[in-house]
């Protein structure tokens, strides 16, 4: 039996039970979950182990790589610049990043980067894990690249390239990298434990990721044979998982699509900014209008990268996935959020005033809607 630590309002005791069941029946190793309602924390729980050998307990301040849950936090930074009048989401990317005009991309608007509609889901050149750590290399390749499909025509999940694309626009507009902007404008002033580019001094707090083994060679080859080249580029160029993400070099780098390290408490607060109309802890970061703009759907379709196997049509807003008919972020179809590779997620529901942050170190096999995630969301909404 795993001991669950932290606090939970009596009304949300079902969240504690669902969290416990994640350990007893869903294979959880170490994890944390936090829930806020109207900016007030109603659940802040953690438990299990921070390493696969189960020698280190998961502590209140344990950090873990949240993978693509980071993408929604990068989107927050872009929307803050838009709110200040410094970034026009309808302007061509090339107006901020001139090199991006290559290969017919001169008119491609910023909003298509945020909504995964740019056709740049993965590199065309063979890419290594070390390449991902080289910002100039990755951004120069993407600037020169010809899109895999007609930009704007549909979404195709930009699994790793999203962070370089949106991040380079942020850098060109503001002068700071995503990690620096986030620290100086958001997490520092709000006292939130989340970083893109983690200092070495914090390594002792980081949980070790554990991952299920990949499919056998023949099975993997069969999977790739069914995939669009844009999907292979997005998900397998390079193949990257827990082993690479446990390396210190990954933690130091800024890979804004995938290497944010933080606590569930911080994730709940960062998505809580959106759930609370743009404010958190007495500080306004976005206008209510900017929050509404962030969750404007950009067109429903079967995602070219994730495919029909993901569950049919989905819709991405400006940096976030909409809950939609799948109820990926609860029963409100206009709630929104982002999942991370293996199970983590952040959720914002402005109508309910709810935000949720969940992080863990045993990575499941699903790209999104992990059973642990869905059990926690169900418990939260049952309590409202």
Q: What is the H or E stretch that residue 211 is in?
A: strand 210-211
Q: Helical H runs in the chain?
A: 13-25, 69-83, 110-114, 135-144, 161-174, 178-182, 188-190, 217-225, 229-236, 242-245, 248-252, 264-275, 288-294, 371-383
* Coil, strand or helix at 45: strand
Out of 24, 68, 115, 365, which one is annotated catalytic? Answer: 68
Angle (nearest 5°) at CA 252 between 249 and 253: 85
d(CA 194, CA 340): 15
Query: Could you tell me which residues come within 8 angstroms of residue 273 by beta carbon, excluding any fewer than 6 positions away?
Result: 76, 279, 280, 285, 286, 348
DSSP for 223-254 reads HHHTS-HHHHHHHHTT---HHHHTSHHHHHS-
d(CA 338, CA 321): 6
Is 68 an active-site residue? yes
Angle (nearest 5°) at CA 307 between 357 and 377: 25
Residue 62 has what DSSP assignment? Answer: -
Q: Are 196 and 182 in contact (CB under 8 A)?
A: yes
d(CA 184, CA 191): 11
318: left (phi over 0), alpha (psi -120 to 50) or beta: beta
Torsion of CA 158, 162, 164, 165, to 10 degrees: 100
- Catalytic residues, which ones? 68
């Amino acid at each position: 039996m795993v001991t669950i630590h932290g606090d939970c309002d009596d009304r949300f005791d079902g969240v504690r039970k669902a969290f416990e069941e994640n350990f007893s029946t869903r294979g959880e190793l170490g994890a944390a979950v936090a829930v806020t309602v109207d900016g007030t924390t109603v659940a802040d729980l953690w438990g299990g182990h921070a390493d696969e050998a189960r020698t280190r307990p998961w502590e209140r301040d344990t950090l873990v790589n949240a993978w693509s849950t980071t993408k929604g936090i990068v989107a927050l930074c872009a929307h803050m610049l838009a709110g200040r009048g410094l970034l026009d989401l309808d302007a061509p990317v090339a107006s901020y990043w001139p090199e991006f005009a290559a290969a017919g991309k001169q008119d491609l608007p910023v909003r298509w980067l945020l909504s995964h509609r740019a056709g740049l889901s993965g590199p065309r050149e063979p890419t290594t894990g070390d390449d991902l750590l080289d910002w100039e290399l990755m951004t120069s390749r993407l600037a020169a690249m010809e899109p895999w499909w007609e930009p704007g025509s549909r979404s195709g999940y930009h699994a790793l390239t999203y962070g370089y694309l949106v991040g380079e626009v942020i850098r060109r507009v503001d002068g700071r990298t995503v990690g620096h902007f986030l620290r100086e404008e958001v997490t520092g002033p709000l006292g939130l434990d989340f970083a893109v580019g983690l200092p070495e001094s914090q390594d002792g707090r980081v949980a070790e990721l554990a991952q299920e083994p990949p499919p056998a060679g023949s099975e993997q080859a069969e999977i790739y044979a069914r995939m669009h080249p844009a999907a292979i580029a997005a998900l397998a160029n390079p193949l990257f998982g827990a082993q690479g993400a446990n390396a210190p070099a990954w933690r130091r780098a800024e890979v804004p699509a995938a290497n944010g390290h933080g606590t569930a408490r911080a994730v709940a607060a960062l998505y809580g900014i959106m759930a609370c109309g743009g404010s958190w802890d007495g500080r306004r970061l976005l206008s209510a209008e900017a929050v509404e703009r962030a969750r404007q759907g950009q067109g429903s379709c079967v995602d070219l990268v994730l495919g029909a196997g993901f569950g049919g049509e989905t819709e991405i807003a400006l940096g976030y996935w909409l809950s939609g008919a799948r109820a990926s972020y609860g029963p409100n179809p206009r709630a929104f959020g982002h999942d991370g590779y293996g199970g983590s997620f952040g959720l914002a529901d402005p109508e309910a005033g709810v935000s949720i942050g969940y992080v863990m170190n045993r990575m499941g096999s699903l790209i999104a809607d992990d059973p642990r995630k869905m059990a926690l969301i169900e418990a939260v909404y049952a309590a409202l």
